[in-house]
């Protein structure tokens, strides 16, 4: 008799091992037309053809998702939890956006009841769009971090996040101090990092809202807890860059601010990276820091065009993210669609296989978590998404002429949204909200 938590998921399986250069690059991905995953205790214990997996576990319950695609769950590497009620606000550019919308919204998170309510809606939105892991900025209130991780824990999700550190150039009731930010972050880190599937992220918002003492405190935290990630913003907007260099004239360039406080490394996630100079690219390469592409927010706030080819040619690791609420959609499919257009404007045409690698294994590698998520390899966490490329009438009509997997993926990223998500599995359990 099979354990009730043991199941077989049947469907067309797609997983990536490396970034594919095209459909002929079959060593970079695995595709099984009638594949199956054996799920035991929240993990993928076996992957193969349905006949093989059924023979290995004849008593397991079979969940048949044919003819749909089963992929690793989507991963969002940069999102703002307190901005769930800010998304789709009519805005000017970055600094105006922060003052007019973001800071007033974040003030409400002093109330943990508010944080809990928003967390429920936030996680419903992620899961309905097939996102099983994200790295989020909480507000400056410890309450917001607890609300964020408590909700993730109740759903069994692997999530990254942390308290936003900021001690200037923001409303007084949102500001902490260098010492209180250090103390609060350390307490939250000790409470949450490694508890269940939680990963704490040291989170100075950006150089404009942190004094040198606070960035020094963030660097001290990172040095003391090297297993943690660090996330912040850089080179998003020309006015932001000019203001940063006024505040840190000795830095030379924006990245030099973070570099001088020891904030760079393989687990450092730098949002935006649009207006980078050559020195900054070299330092990012040498430190292994990650450049996070946020296409919908870059377009929405008029910030500029991310130059993926230039960064990757310089040896910089890249990731892709929604950046809700400056970003305009929780969907990684919609994010791919806008990202494709941003890069197409620069004659950097992305193959659909490369795109789906990016939002699964690519983002997992960027988070240094590819041994856990972003893949269908046996032994990894069973975080999965099931996709239907015929979910809407326009998609179904287009699919009548589709002949290849690559064409189907391009239909999903161009026309798909939450309606294309049939099911989302977290640690092997179906979690897509009704």
Q: Which helix or strand (DSSP H or E) is residue 404 part of?
A: none
Whole-prediction pTM = 0.97
The tokens 């969940």 sit on which residue?
63
**Pair type for strands 29-40 and 7-16:** antiparallel
Structure tokens at 295: 């296409």
Rounded to whole angstroms, the Cα distance separating 392 from 397 reads 9
Q: Is 73 within 8 Å of 134 (Cβ atoms)?
A: no
For residue 1, the model assigns a pLDDT of 39
Render the burial of 299-332: b for 16+ CB within 10 Å, e for the rest. bbbebbbbbbeebeebebbbbbbbbbbbbbbbbb
133: tokens are 């892991």
Mean pLDDT by 10 residues, the chain (434 residues): 76 97 90 98 98 96 98 98 93 81 93 97 98 98 98 98 97 97 98 98 97 98 98 96 97 97 98 98 98 97 96 98 96 98 96 97 98 98 98 98 97 98 98 93
What pLDDT score does 21 carry? 84
Distance CA 125, CA 432 (A): 9
User: Distance between the two ends of the chain, CA-based, in angstroms?
Assistant: 30
Q: Are 228 and 251 in contact (CB under 8 A)?
A: no
Alpha helices (H) along 32-108: 50-56, 94-97, 103-107
- What's the pLDDT at 131? 98
The number of beta carbons lying within 10 Å of the beta carbon of residue 226 is 9
In this structure, are residues 134 and 366 in contact, taking their beta carbons and an 8 Å threshold? no
Question: What is the pLDDT, as a whole number, of residue 174?
Answer: 96
Contacts of 152 (CB under 8 A, 6+ apart): 123, 159, 197, 198
């Amino acid at each position: 008799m099979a354990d009730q938590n043991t199941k077989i998921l049947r469907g067309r399986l797609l997983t990536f091992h490396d970034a594919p250069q095209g459909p002929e690059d079959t060593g970079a991905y695995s595709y099984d037309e009638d594949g199956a995953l054996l799920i035991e205790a929240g993990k993928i214990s076996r992957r193969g053809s349905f006949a093989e997996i059924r023979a290995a576990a004849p008593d397991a319950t079979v969940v048949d998702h044919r003819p749909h695609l089963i992929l690793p769950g989507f991963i969002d590497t940069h999102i703002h939890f307190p901005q769930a009620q800010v998304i789709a606000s009519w805005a000017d550019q970055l600094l105006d956006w922060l003052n007019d919308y973001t800071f007033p919204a974040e003030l409400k998170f002093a109330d943990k009841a508010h944080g809990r309510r928003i967390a429920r809606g936030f996680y419903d939105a992620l899961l309905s769009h097939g996102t099983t892991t994200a790295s989020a900025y909480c507000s400056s209130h410890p309450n917001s971090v607890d609300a964020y991780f408590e909700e993730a824990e109740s759903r069994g999700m692997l999530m990254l996040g942390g308290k936003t550190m900021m001690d200037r150039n923001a409303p007084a009731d949102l500001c902490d101090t260098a010492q209180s930010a250090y103390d609060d972050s350390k307490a939250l880190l000790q409470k949450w990092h490694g508890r269940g599937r939680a990963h704490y992220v040291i989170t100075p918002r950006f150089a404009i809202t942190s004094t040198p003492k606070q960035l020094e405190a963030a660097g001290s935290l990172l040095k003391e807890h090297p297993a943690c990630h660090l996330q912040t913003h850089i080179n998003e907007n020309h006015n932001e860059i000019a203001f940063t260099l006024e505040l840190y004239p000795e830095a030379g360039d924006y990245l030099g601010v973070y570099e001088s406080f020891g904030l760079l490394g393989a687990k450092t996630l730098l949002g935006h990276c649009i207006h980078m100079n050559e020195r900054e690219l070299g330092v990012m390469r040498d430190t292994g820091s990650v450049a996070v592409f946020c296409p919908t927010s870059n377009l929405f706030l008029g910030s500029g065009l991310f130059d993926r080819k230039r960064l990757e040619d310089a040896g910089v690791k890249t990731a892709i993210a929604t950046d809700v609420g400056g970003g305009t959609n929780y969907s990684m499919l919609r994010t791919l669609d806008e990202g494709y257009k941003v890069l197409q404007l620069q004659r950097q045409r992305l193959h659909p296989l490369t795109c789906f690698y990016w939002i699964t294994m690519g983002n997992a590698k960027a988070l240094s978590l590819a041994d856990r998520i972003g893949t269908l390899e046996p032994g990894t966490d069973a975080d999965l998404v099931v996709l239907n490329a015929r979910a809407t009438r326009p998609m179904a009509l287009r699919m009548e002429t589709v002949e290849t997997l690559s064409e189907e993926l391009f239909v999903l990223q161009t026309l798909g949204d939450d309606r294309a998500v049939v099911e989302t599995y977290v640690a092997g359990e179906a979690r897509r909200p009704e």
